Amino acid sequence: MHCYNLFCSHLIFIQWLQNHLIPCPFKKFTGYDCPGCGFQRSVIALLKGHMHDSLQLYPATIPLLVTFVFVLLDGRLKFDKKHIAKKTLYLITGNIILIAYLYKLYNL
């Protein structure tokens, strides 16, 4: 019974997220997607277990989440003393965002 309640509350949370997406001010004023457009829908697809859809909506979602968790853990545990791993994650994630954005602009 508890698993069912947990599953239902998960679905209710996802439905709430879908109904409360934050509009992009950049897109509102320019008419073009910003480099972050698609992230919210991608996270929702990931929460639903649709990894393929998540990657199509915003390829940098998983690297962004991994980077975020790594930075939080490193802030607490201080295991990346020279910040090499952190800089590498920033570089990889930034490049994925840039390449995906340029690809999106090129295919408009």
Query: Over the stretch 48-92, which tens digit does the pLDDT of each residue have?
Result: 999 999 999 999 999 999 999 999 999 999 999 999 999 999 999
**What is the number of helices (H) and of strands (E) in the chain?**
6, 0
The domain spans of the chain are: 2-106
Burial zone of 94 (CB within 10 Å; 0-12 exposed, 13-18 middle, 19+ buried): middle
* CA dihedral (55, 104, 40, 84) positive or negative: positive
| pLDDT, average across residues 14-30 | 93
Distance CA(102)–CA(23), nearest Å, equals: 21
| pLDDT, average across residues 5-27 | 86
pLDDT, position 1: 45
The model carries a pTM of: 0.83
In the chain, pLDDT over 90 holds for what percent of residues? 82
